[in-house]
Amino acid sequence: MKTVWEKYNAKAMKDVMAVSEDYKNFLNAAKTEREAVDETIRLARKEGFKEFKEVRKVKAGDKIYFNNRGKSIALFVIGKKPMEDGLNILGAHIDSPRIDLKQNPLYEDNGLVLMDTHYYGGIKKYQWVALPLAMHGVVCKKDGKTIKVAIGEDEKDPVVEISDLLIHLSRDQMAKTGAKVVEGEDLNALVGSIPVKEKDEKEEPVKKNILKILKEEYDIEEEDFISAELELVPAGKARDLGLDRSLVMAYGHDDRICAYTSLRAILESKEPERTSACILTDKEEIGSMGATGAQSAFFENCVAELLAKTDSFDGLKLRHCLERSCMLSSDVSAGFDPNYPSVNEPKNAAYLGKGISFNKFTGSGGKGGSSDATPEYIAKIRRILDKNKIVYQFSELGRVDQGGGGTIAYILANKNMDVIDAGIAVQNMHAPYEVASKGDIYEAYQAYKIFLKEMA
């Protein structure tokens, strides 16, 4: 089969398009990791999932989730077999590259008020200028109140912007290397220009006016930025791309595209043999560290909690459960781009429209930093995919020694379970808008469902 599109009849095409409509809605609601957790909970509760603390005893068929600080989440559908026999786990990350506000962001310069930022994740900084940006996040007040912020998505909302230099005066800038064309400390977002009306306000009158607006409209004071988590992301909605509407262009495919398809698969997991799990994690773009990253004890703790409510708790059962588990660690891979063919080795590149994409290993150089799936495990995966006519491809991220990248795969593999990287090919990964194929989204979603049901 050349592409996914040859597989679909008219009815299947409707399904493919419908899944991507739902995915676009998810993306529009989930532009940060926190919003992704909120939206996941909303969708999970609709399907009968309960938070762990609402559950007294854990039994087969139960649907349970754990919310970690509103920034990462683990969902489980308890299987008929004992959990000690292992889980079928889907994993993806819900953080995406973006521009975070600094803790002391606000300043006035020649009648303009700006907010200083610190970018998050690997970005080509020059791609993030001269674009409408929305501000999402939370401001936590000393009194314990949390203010949720989402400004710039409604068409009537204002947006903010990081400026770029006009071409007419860019002789020096254009001679710089790409990494220096726009530098990190110059990523300052323009947020206002009207001075406050009071006559005696001579010092920073425009900043005072912005502070007044923040206080009146959001109950935010300048010091509150210290305990805020505010993220600038491209404003606007996910869109169909292509005259045939075969692709989706959106902010945050990496990696909400795998998060959404994995989530949908577990929401549809009904009375599985082996317990289904789905972990949607934070901080992947900066190394998966911290309480909400994949390296956290969170997932293991969730499994221990569940085991304790099924049988008498016993540390060895947790060890057995983890080492007998199988995982698809799903993240985007680099889709072959006809504009830049030279970075790929064509036999082992991932192509848009050729189905879910597996990577035996990731890493860089001589596979450095990768967990490298075993061929025994890959053979099992091939068996269930072929049986269910899933369209899939095996690829590497670029030519040998061209670069590389890592995922959360090795972190779970370090717990002594079988893990392979799976996911969806995208173009212009980490740009403000990324591109993916609706056919690949559909195949990934189907593959995840089958993995949860049939992997043994």
* Contact (CB, 8 A) for 408 and 299: no
CB of 332 vs Mn ion, minimal distance in Å: 5
Considering beta carbons, is residue 310 or 362 the nearer one to Mn ion?
A: 362
CB of 428 vs Mn ion, minimal distance in Å: 12
Dihedral pair phi/psi, residue 367, rounded to 5°: 65, 20
Q: Which residues bind Mn ion (CB under 5 A)?
A: 254-255, 331
CB of 422 vs Mn ion, minimal distance in Å: 12
CB of 97 vs Mn ion, minimal distance in Å: 6
CB of 150 vs Mn ion, minimal distance in Å: 23
Considering beta carbons, is residue 255 or 440 the nearer one to Mn ion?
A: 255
DSSP 391-444: -EEE--SSSTTS-EE--SHHHHHTTT-EEEEEE-EEESTTSSSEEEEHHHHHHH
Q: Which of 358, 407, 410 is nearest to 381 (CA)?
A: 358
Give the amino acid at 397: L
Give the amino acid at 201: E
What sign has the CA pseudo-torsion 276, 281, 285, 289? negative
Kindly state the helix (H) or strand (E) to which residue 379 belongs, with its residue range.
helix 375-387
Considering beta carbons, is residue 39 or 254 the nearer one to Mn ion?
A: 254
CB of 119 vs Mn ion, minimal distance in Å: 13
CA distance 5 to 355: 9
CB of 436 vs Mn ion, minimal distance in Å: 12
Considering beta carbons, is residue 331 or 440 the nearer one to Mn ion?
A: 331
Considering beta carbons, is residue 33 or 331 the nearer one to Mn ion?
A: 331
User: Using alpha carbons only, what angle is made at residue 335 by residues 420 and 28, rounded to the nearest 5 degrees?
Assistant: 90
Considering beta carbons, is residue 120 or 394 the nearer one to Mn ion?
A: 120
Considering beta carbons, is residue 275 or 295 the nearer one to Mn ion?
A: 295
Cβ neighbours of 345 (radius 10 Å): 13
User: How would you class 67 by CB atoms within 10 Å of its CB: exposed for 0-12, middle for 13-18, buried for 19 or more?
Assistant: middle
Considering beta carbons, is residue 86 or 363 the nearer one to Mn ion?
A: 363
CB of 362 vs Mn ion, minimal distance in Å: 10
Give the amino acid at 57: K
- Please measure the distance between the N-terminal and C-terminal CA atoms of the chain and give it in whole angstroms: 27
